[in-house]
Amino acid sequence: MSGYRSKNTAVSRGVTLNTLKDELYSLNMRLLLAMQHHNEEAQEDIRAQMAAVQAEIDQICSGVGLRH
* Residue pLDDT, tens place only, 35-54: 999 999 999 999 999 999 99
Q: Give the domain extent around 31.
A: 7-58
Q: Specify the number of domains making up the chain.
A: 1
Contact at 8 Å (CB) between 1 and 29? no
Residue 51 is assigned to a structural domain of this protein: yes
CB atoms within 10 A of CB 48: 13
The confidence score (pLDDT) of residue 15 equals 87
pLDDT band at 67 (very low <50, low <70, confident <90, very high): low
Burial bucket for residue 24 (CB in 10 Å: 0-12, 13-18, 19+): middle
Q: How confident is the model at residue 14 (pLDDT cuts 50, 70, 90)?
A: confident
In the predicted model, is pLDDT for residue 4 greater than 70?
Answer: no
Quick check: is 66 in a domain? no
Residue 67 lies in a domain: no
Question: Using CA atoms in the order 50, 29, 46, 3, what is the torsion angle rounded to 10 degrees?
Answer: -80
